[in-house]
Each structure stands twice: as structure tokens, then as C-alpha cells.
Amino acid sequence: MSPKGSVESADTEALLSGRHHDPHSILGYHPSPTGATIRALQPWAEKAWVEAGGEPLEMERLVGGLFEAGLHGPSPHQYRLRFQNAGGSWTVDDPYRFLPTLGELDLHLIGEGRHQKLWLKLGSRHLRHEGVEGVAFAVWAPNARGVTVVSDFAFWDELVHPMRSLGSSGVWELFIPELAPRARYKYRVAGADGTVRLKADPMARAAEIPPDTASVVEDSTHRWADDAWLSRRATAELHGGPMSIYEVHLGSWRRQEGGEPLSYRELGRQLGEYCNQVGFTHVELMPVMEHPFGGSWGYQVTGYYSPTARYGTSDDFRAMIDDLHQQGIGVILDWVPAHFPRDEWALARFDGTALYEHEDPRRGSHPDWGTLIFNYARAEVRNFLVANALYWMEEFHVDGLRVDAVASMLYLDYSRKAGEWAPNEFGGRENIDAINFLREVNSSVAEQHPGVMMVAEESTAWGGITRPASAGGLGFSHKWNMGWMHDTLDYMSHDPIYRRYHHGELTFGLLYAWSEHFILPLSHDEVVHGKGSLMGKMPGDPWRRRANLRAMLAWMWAHPGKQLVFMGGEFGQEREWSNERELDWYLLDDPGYAGIQRVVTDLNRTYKQTPALWQMDSNPDGFAWIDSGNADQNVLSFIRRDAQGAPGLVCVANFSAEPRSDFRVGVPHGGAWLEVLNTDAEIYGGSNTGNLGRVVADAEVGWNGQPSAVVLTLPPLAVLWLVPEAGRAAEPGQASSGPVVDSDPEPETPAPKRSRSLRSSTRRAAGR
């Protein structure tokens, strides 16, 4: 008789039900005083053999697909298993003969929630273990009664690959040798509540194309070529440099001829070319993390470590970012640590308990979005999120994260009525655990990735959003100025004859403009859910609507703060945005819309050339009103100064529909001033009212508290940018700095007749 060990019936029952915490204690190789016992689990095999160098040794089928063989005398630890059924036979290396792939230090750090490279240890990863190539699987499920890898390489059998629990860390682990690339898998989790669930891997680096939901084994072979970009970024000034951001939804920016979305690699080339043509310095991508429902636009994430498979593989996504970097374009990703969806196969009640979410629905359930809120008090959950932020920077070289819905994280009573929320331990409404998490993630990013942005979408007056965490702030690098956005859009939506009553909406933002490091957003939030488009918010006939939009954009680019515009806004998209179709690029065949794109192009070009517009964004010394009180005429003017204190630009806005001649504006010194931008120029679709590209200030006559003054012709619904001629030459061919002929047409006149040069220029800029 061969020496065979015995298996307790309780162990057998637990193993065959997928509820054994240590399947390696039964399966695999087990030495004995007289030899060894080898056991294997293969429920759909009829026969099994051990192949250890000699004649194959047939195994005895015990119960439920459990096989056993006893070996006499010395036996090799390395062997293979051969199985057979009516469909044929197959040979595998035995996963249960290997030691764990995680070491004690890793488990200790995971248990304490301090493993900042968590993705290198959890999830699925190819590696060479004990001399054998394979895939290591590891998942955190501390309250599970059993976890099994369920995969296409095991015909989706739910019991054949049970994992072992690695003690108090809560991690379950299994090494499966000889696994095929891009294998698909899930975890069968026998929960603490008695329910069995098939779960996607929270740490998977790739996933199936929705609506399929399995995780995918995927490791990178991409070779980066953006070293020069990263070197510049590490020493770049986050606040004192030019930044013009183009917000993009990848699936609907532009599509192929048949209507299919572009791939990551196509997007890298085309999006980079377009941003350079129009002059944007960065793209901000609506969430690319895997999400099951396209209509959520990515804000209900199920795969925090997986770029969506809709547009290609993870390496395709790397190639897109690499391409953008080589074209000089930075990449910011929207990131959603505020909440996650309730999908049964994702994070919700992962191990049969409220593992990632807070157990108390007053803190763990989001009333607006029907989603779940992370339990920021739990160290392992904070670790999952902090490591995730670092993951996108280290694995994908992203230049920043825009953190979504920060206000909902900061306040326990966010969108809740009395009685629907529980105060913190001090009786307040602040979510102290979320605050500590935000400080931790922002400090980790600042320390490990200098030059990378962390941007808060935060809509309240919470103080210190961009103050360092060490000084009591939250530690973000930038904050979206939501107040500026709402005030500006409200002002611009009024007919000019009523704007005098809303004048303060344009000036109020300058009272707090330097309280944070602001980005001025005209984001996707303002062109969805029945809000229409930016163009649709503008009042009047088509001519006036386009003039209003051009003027608002020029006002925005001159205002302190970096700027962001959602795709389509840069050429006046008329329809409300939909994720189901590409932008209405055909509008650029109309000179009126092409003119809006052209003014944005010239705004970006002049902005980059004018340090006064970006060096002092966060310093009140960089801004001074010339006249902020002329509400009756809807005229405002101000100065932007550079880091040396020199006045680099004067902005004059006429938001009335009336042209104004002989209009005196104070300027900081005498001499010639170039009209480098006039949003009413004919090339933009305007009435061509202006100042012939140049004016001379009278040094003897002061005005508006300034020592000198210029006399201007102010076009209707337009913004002028003036810069000192000294040391600044007008660019040949730049529309706004070339001759502009004075005229006084009716504002309702149609856009000018299309010219061949304008149309061809427009088509090049659109990439058509």
C-alpha cells in the first residue's frame, strides 16, 4: 500500500464548498516519514495521475473531485498533474506546492494600511516564483469564510482554485503557474453573511469590455519615452506657469467614420495635435477608470486600478499618455474617491460585510447618487485609495488628479436633512476621517511626485483647501473656483440691458481670488442635464450669442486663475453635450463658429506669451482694478502685472451691446499700447470695430486713478487686451494684432461671408 494521509471530513466539506481558510494544508505536496502524499482538486476530471519523472502514478478519486496519491521513499517536490475526462486529457503544474508570494513585511504594511505600492502585491501579477513563471493572485477579504479564483483557464469552475488566508492581514493568496496572458477571472467569495458572491478583483489592472465584468490578468510591456517631460515636470512651478486645460470625454470627443469611439492610441495622436493647434497645455480626462455604465461618464467606478477597456488595453492607455507628453501636453485624470456604485460584482459588501463602505448608512450611503461612501476611518480602505492615487502617477505618468465631489466628502450632512446624519465625535458636521484621508493622499503625492497636481472640485467656502496639510490645510495644489463659474455664467446669461443689476457677479470673485490656488472651470457640469451648451446660455440673436461667448472666454483668460473649458465650448457647440455622439465638428464649416475657435487659439497663444497672465495668479500684487464700478455702461477694466511688478496687460471689457467711441481708460504708464486681442475682430466673426491694433497713452492726463490714459473705441459685446509696445512686437498675421478697421454695424448683422483662408485654417485646426 502507498502511504496516504487522511483528510478529516470537516476539512473535505469546507474544501468542496469553497469555505476552507487553508486549502494548501490539504492539497499539494505533503511529506511523511515514509514518503509523501499528493492531493489535487479537479471536480470535472474522471481520472488523475502524478508525473514525477518516472511512470505516472494514478491517483485515487476520493470524493467530489478530490484526488490523492501516496509516494514511497524520497520523492521530488517538483511534479506535474495529469487529468482526464471524456473530453480529453491535460497536464498542469500544481498550484498547491508553492509557498506564499507575499512576505511578512508586505503583510504587516497591508495590515497597518501603510503599503503605498499596494498594486505590486495585491491583484493579479505575473512573476517568477520558485523558478516557475505564473500569476500570483491576492485579495483583501478579512471576513470571508473562503475565497476561490474562478477563471476562464479553469472553465469558470467555482471550486477548483481555492485560495489560502494569510492570517490577520485579511489577505487571501494563490500562485497559479503557467497561466496564459490576458486570462479572465473573478473571485468567488463566501461571505461572512453566508452569501456567496462572484466579485471582480478590486486591484485588477485590467477588465473586460463592458457590459462584461470579469477582471483580466495584464502586465505592462510599454517602454516610456517621456523622460524629458517628467524631468521638466519635477522642477516645474505648479502655480506660476501657464496652464490652459481642455476637459475631454474620450468616447465622444471625436469618433471614427462608422461612429465607433477612437482607440487610446488614435486619441493620443489626434488629441495632442488638436491641443497644440488650439493652444491648450493640458487635457483633463473624465474618469477613465473602469465603469459598467457609460451614461455615468465614468463617475461610478468599479475598477479603480483598471483603465477602461472601451478604448484599448492598459498599455494602449500608457501609449496615449506617452504620446501626449511627447507632444508637450500634460494629462490630468478625474478621480472619484468620494463614492462607488452598489453593483453586486464590485466593491459593495465585498466579503459579506461593509468592507470598503461605512456600515452606518448615515455615513455610508450617498442620498443623491444612490452609491456607497468609503469608510475613511479604516486604515486598509485609506491605503486602497492612497495607493490608487500613486498608482496612476507611477504606472501611467499622469500629471495630476482632479478629485471629484470633495464637498460631499467634507461634510457629514452633505445633502442630508436633519436626523439623516450623525455628527462627529465633537458634535460637528465635518467628516474628520475624510479630512485626514485627503491630507494623507495629498501629502503622499506632494512628497513622492513633486510637480504633480491635486485639484479639488469643491463647491463650498471651506478654508485652506490648497493650504499645505502641514499648515492645517487639505494640501491640494489647486481648487476649482465654482463660485466664479456660477457667477460668470449667470451674468452672461442676462440680456445686456439688465446686466447693470448683476454687475457685482463679475467683481465679487476678486474679493477671494487669492484665498486659494484657483482654476476657473467651464466644465461638463454646465452643459448637461438640460442646462444646454455654453452657447445656449448666451442671450440674443446668433450674432450676439457668439459675440457674448467670445467676450466671456477672453474675460476668463485674462482673469486671475488657470482656465479650463469643456470640449465643444472652444468653438461654440450649440447642442447640449451627449456621451453618445461626437462633438458637432461640422459647425466649424461656419465662419461664426470657426471664429470662436480662432479666438480661443489666439487667447492661448497670447496668454503663453504674456507672463503677467500666469506668473502672479495666486498673488494679489498681480492684479489691480482700473475701473470696477461702471455698472451702467457694463464696462470693466483691470491690469495684470508680472512677477517683477511690471504691468504686462490691460483688459477692457464692454459687456453692453453698444459700441463706445472716445472711451477713456486709465493705464499705468504712457507710450504705445498694442491691441493684441480684440474679440470683435472680423476674423473671429465680429463687427470689426476697434483701434487699428495700436493706441498711444497720454502721459500728461491721468484717469481712473492711473497716471496715464488711452482713448479707445470699445466694440459691442467684446473684450480688448492691451500690452505695452515696448519690448513686445505684434505677431505678423495674428488677427487680433493686425489692423482693425473702425466701423459701426448693427450687432444683429450676420457673420461675415466665409473666406477660403479661414475655412482651410478651420479644417486644419479641427483635424478634419
pLDDT tens column, 489-525: 999 999 999 999 999 999 999 999 999 999 999 999 9
pLDDT at 743 over 70: no
pLDDT at 744 over 50: no
Asked if 353 contacts 193 with a C-beta cutoff of 8 angstroms, the reply is yes
- Give the active site residue among 404, 458, 590, 680: 404
Q: Specify the pairing of strand 184-190 against strand 146-151.
A: antiparallel
Mean local confidence (pLDDT), 365-383: 95
pLDDT score at 74: 60
pLDDT at 16 over 50: yes
Q: Which residues contact 431 (CB under 8 A, 6 or more apart)?
A: 363, 376, 409, 410, 411, 412, 424
- What's the grid cell of residue 406? 470633495
CA 374, 378, 379, 380 torsion-angle sign: negative
Mean local confidence (pLDDT), 343-362: 96
pLDDT score at 699: 85
pLDDT score at 237: 87
Q: Where does 238-312 show beta strands of DSSP type E?
A: 244-248, 282-285, 289-290, 303-307
- Can the peptide bond before residue 367 be classed as cis, meaning omega within 30 degrees of 0? no
440 is annotated as an active-site residue: no
Place of cell 504674456: 610
CA 492, 496, 499, 503 torsion-angle sign: positive
pLDDT class of 727 with cuts at 50, 70, 90: low
Return the SS3 of 326. helix
DSSP label at residue 194: S
- What's the grid cell of residue 684? 473671429
DSSP label at residue 703: B
pLDDT at 561 over 60: yes
pLDDT at 741 over 90: no
- Closest listed residue to residue 110, CA positions, set 140, 79, 87: 140
CA distance 373 to 358: 6
- Closest listed residue to residue 301, CA positions, set 333, 335, 337, 340: 340
Mean local confidence (pLDDT), 646-675: 97
Domain with CATH 2.60.40.10 in the chain: 9-97, 104-216
pLDDT at 453 over 60: yes
pLDDT score at 2: 39
CA distance 528 to 467: 32
Overall fold of domain 104-216: Immunoglobulin-like (2.60.40)
Q: Residue 670, class by beta-carbon neighbours within 10 Å (0-12 exposed, 13-18 middle, 19+ buried)?
A: middle
Asked if 406 contacts 458 with a C-beta cutoff of 8 angstroms, the reply is yes
CA distance 130 to 28: 15
Mean local confidence (pLDDT), 441-467: 96
* CATH class of residue range 484-737: mainly beta
Domain with CATH 2.60.40.1180 in the chain: 484-737
Q: Which residues contact 597 (CB under 8 A, 6 or more apart)?
A: 278, 570, 571, 572, 588, 762, 765, 766
Asked if 59 contacts 49 with a C-beta cutoff of 8 angstroms, the reply is yes
Mean local confidence (pLDDT), 251-260: 94
Model's pTM, two decimal places? 0.92
Q: Which residues contact 655 (CB under 8 A, 6 or more apart)?
A: 491, 492, 496, 499, 506, 551, 634, 635, 636, 717
* CATH class of residue range 9-97: mainly beta
Mean local confidence (pLDDT), 46-75: 88
Composition of the chain by helix, strand, coil, percent to 5: 30, 25, 45
Asked if 465 contacts 458 with a C-beta cutoff of 8 angstroms, the reply is yes
pLDDT score at 352: 97
CA distance 371 to 348: 9
pLDDT at 4 over 70: no
Q: With pLDDT > 70 as the criterion, what percentage of the chain qualifies?
A: 93
DSSP label at residue 68: E
> In whole angstroms, what separates CA 741 from the centre of its chain?
45
> In whole angstroms, what separates CA 558 from the centre of its chain?
26
Which backbone phi and psi does 695 adopt, to 5 degrees?
-135, 160
Q: Which residues contact 249 (CB under 8 A, 6 or more apart)?
A: 285, 286, 297, 524, 567, 577, 579
Residue type present at position 401: L
pLDDT at 210 over 90: yes
| Angle made by CA atoms 632, 635, 639, in degrees to the nearest 5 | 140
pLDDT score at 75: 61
CA distance 310 to 333: 16
Return the SS3 of 344. coil
Mean local confidence (pLDDT), 177-204: 96
Bridge-partner residues for 28, per DSSP?
A: 39
pLDDT at 755 over 80: no
pLDDT at 767 over 80: no
pLDDT score at 123: 97
Overall fold of domain 248-253+262-480: TIM Barrel (3.20.20)
pLDDT at 265 over 50: yes
CA distance 357 to 450: 31
pLDDT at 60 over 50: yes
- Give the active site residue among 399, 457, 570, 590: 457
Min mean pLDDT across 133-147, 259-273, 736-750 is at 736-750
Q: Which residues contact 55 (CB under 8 A, 6 or more apart)?
A: none
404 is annotated as an active-site residue: yes
pLDDT score at 736: 38
pLDDT at 676 over 50: yes
pLDDT score at 734: 35
pLDDT score at 10: 87
pLDDT at 221 over 50: yes
- Cβ count within 10 A of residue 592: 23
Bridge-partner residues for 68, per DSSP?
A: 39, 60
- Closest listed residue to residue 740, CA positions, set 758, 711, 710, 713: 713
Which backbone phi and psi does 430 adopt, to 5 degrees?
-80, 140
- What's the grid cell of residue 134? 505564473
Mean local confidence (pLDDT), 35-62: 91
pLDDT at 728 over 70: no
- Closest listed residue to residue 549, CA positions, set 534, 564, 527, 559: 534
Q: Specify the pairing of strand 244-248 against strand 215-216.
A: unpaired
Average pLDDT for the chain: 92
Asked if 50 contacts 2 with a C-beta cutoff of 8 angstroms, the reply is no
